[in-house]
Amino acid sequence: MSLPTAETLRDRARAALQAVGATVELGAPGESGLPASTPVTGDVLCTVPETTPDAADAAIAAAAGAFAQWRITPAPVRGALVARLGELLVEHQADLGTLVTIEAGKITSEARGEVQEMIDVCQFAVGLSRQLYGRTIASERPGHRLMETWHPLGAVGVITAFNFPVAVWAWNTAIALVCGDTVVWKPSELTPLTAIACQALIERAAADVGAPADVSRIILGNRDIGEQLVDDPRVALVSATGSVRMGREVGPRVAQRFGRSLLELGGNNAAIVAPSADLDLAVRGIVFSAAGTAGQRCTTLRRVIAHHSIVDTLVERITAAYRSLPIGDPAADGTLVGPLIHERSYRDMVGALEKARADGGEVVGGARRDLGEGSFYVEPAVVRMPAQTAVVHEETFAPILYVLTYDALDEAIALNNAVPQGLSSAIFTTDVREAETFMAADGSDCGIANVNIGTSGAEIGGAFGGEKQTGGGRESGSDAWKAYMRRATNTVNYSSKLPLAQGVHFG
Ligand code: NAD
């Protein structure tokens, strides 16, 4: 399979940016600014203006300033902005999808699916704008009313990873905006063009509905500009998505200034395959979760824990499916596996496979497909491991699927829980006792525990996130909105007496 040229990709990116109304000045490769590259060919396509520390400071000041007006705008009116953003996303789904494919290397269907996730969360947030409910609580004192009210928090700093260059911004921004917060976004330095396109759309949406222009701002650059966001006391909440390494740095720094953080970090997700599993279903779920997005999702399936009675058949079927996966240009019809993001990812994959071999692992696949010098396309690998060794405990952001075996379900659950990360997990079984045990308090310790589907591809309606080194944050649906608001407890005395709580008498 041949790849498009850098010129073709540059033209496609330019056309998509133009279509969404982005007016950014793109520099030629090598000119000053932040390089915008593509994993499809490995080329730098252009440069974009990098945000200076002073400009980042001004962006934070602008968002913090806009908060004064935005927080008193009625929530359903705030919802109108998000509704308009959702409409623009529908209109420009293909344009944004093109940019995601160019910058993150996702196949077209997954890139458009990511934009669909943005549309879905906008719709969810619009409904939420009329449902920011507080509780009333029975007061122990006569003539008193006890209740909770929820209020906007302030400017929210959003830091995102390369592999979900648009959806994670939307999860945060759609919810933050209806909650009455304003946003400053630091996208991955690897995906600045998609971020510029999103910013153009939110600016258009704000202009269309008469919302303050500064409700959502963007700052472009490397981690140092992200650190500025992390350390700034005007940023009430830092919602950071990325590696455990990043979270380890960001969490304590935000805590140091008593800011709030919401961390969405790495995963090391497993699927248990029980003897009763529907293997057709399991193989499809496993292959999508493990090889999809070339193994570069936080929810990518990295470990299969298979019952010894079915492991041989299962591995045979997975490796057969892997052999038929079309690998190559992510924009081409039929491709299912696109490129790794950069050479470092490829080196990490090679290093992990070497370690696995040294630990007695039997590796099938994992070879590089030479489609061009600067790009890194790989065959997804399946590795049968004699034990869950140190390398299996690490998240290698590439398509490596380790296979482990078990005899009894509690052993399988213990293996599932034995890694430091706690994002997603699954069990394939037709035995209701096993399914319920897996989801019970002493079952999977992950934020996501699925039955008879893979570990990736969550819907926006549920709260998304994970435990342990995954950071504990929850984003997107359910009541994840509460992280973006502050809660006040109000006690109202409508009597003419002043009884004290707990029956205390004073004077
Ligand atoms: P990364 O940690 O290298 O970078 C993520 C973002 O953090 C980037 O914007 C980067 O510039 C910024 N950053 C890095 N160090 C920082 C610091 N000290 N202060 C402030 N900002 C800093 O991650 P990546 O390679 O872009 O993405 C892959 C990782 O992200 C994987 O570990 C994956 O599992 C994780 N991820 C998690 C989720 C989730 O929801 N749990 C979603 C997507 C990706």
Which amino acid residue places its CA nearest to atom 21 of ligand 1? 226
Q: Residue 413 and residue 425: Cα distance in Å, rounded?
A: 10
Ligand 1 center from residue 293 Cα (angstroms): 16
> Does the Cβ of 161 fall within 6 Å of ligand 1?
yes
Q: What is the 3-state secondary structure (H, E, C) of 203-260?
A: HHHHHHHCCCHHHEEECCCCHHHHHHHHHCCCEEEEEEECCHHHHHHHHHHHHHCCCE
- CA atoms 495, 500, 505, 507: torsion sign: negative
Low-confidence ranges of the chain (pLDDT < 50): none
Q: What is the pLDDT of residue 322?
A: 98
Residue 10 has what pLDDT? Answer: 98
- What is the spatial distance between Cα 505 and Cα 331, in angstroms, rounded to a whole number? 74
What CATH architecture applies to the domain 269-459?
3-Layer(aba) Sandwich (3.40)
Residue 213, pLDDT score: 94
253 lines ligand 1 (CB under 6 A): no
**Mutation probe of ligand 1 site: the residue of 224, 235, 298 with most atoms within 8 A of C-beta:** 298
Q: How far apart are alpha carbons 283 and 318 in whole angstroms?
A: 6
Please give the pLDDT value at position 158: 98
**Residue 176: partners with Cβ closer than 8 Å, 6 or more residues away:** 156, 158, 182, 183, 484
Instruction: Of 383, 288, 379, 395, give the one whose Cα is nearest residue 338.
Output: 379
> What is the residue extent of each domain of the chain?
53-265+471-487, 269-459
Burial of 370 (0-12, 13-18, 19+ CB in 10 A): exposed
Tell me the CATH class for 53-265+471-487. alpha beta
Concerning whether 343 is annotated as a catalytic residue, the answer is no
pTM metric for this prediction: 0.98
In 3D space, the residue among 50, 444, 43, 48 whose CA is nearest the CA of residue 269 turns out to be 444
> Does the beta carbon of 421 sit less than 6 angstroms from any atom of ligand 1?
no
Quick one: tokens of 459?
């819907």
Per-residue model confidence as pLDDT tens digits over 102-128: 999 999 999 999 999 999 999 999 999
Does ligand 1 have an atom closer than 6 angstroms to the CB of 221? Answer: no
CA of 437 to the centre of ligand 1 (A): 33
Answer whether 447's CB lies under 8 Å from 474's CB.
Answer: yes
Ligand 1 mean position, distance from CA 13 (Å)? 24
Are the beta carbons of 485 and 153 closer than 8 angstroms?
A: yes
CA angle (7, 13, 15) in 5-degree steps: 100
pLDDT score of 507 = 84
Distance CA 263, CA 121 (A): 19
Backbone angles phi, psi at 98, to 5 degrees: -60, -45
159 CB near ligand 1 (under 6 Å): yes
CA of 501 to the centre of ligand 1 (A): 47
Q: DSSP letters of 375-410?
A: --EE--EEEE-SS--HHHHS--SSSEEEEEEESSHH
Q: In Å, what is the CA distance from 482 to each residue of 90, 247, 462, 472, 473?
A: 27, 21, 14, 14, 11
Q: What is the CA radius of gyration of the chain?
A: 24
Give ∠ CA 55-52-199 in degrees, rounded to 5. 60
Q: Is 56 in the pocket of ligand 1 (CB under 6 A)?
A: no
CB 392 within 8 A of CB 421: no
Candidates 110, 189, 264, 394; catalytic one = 264
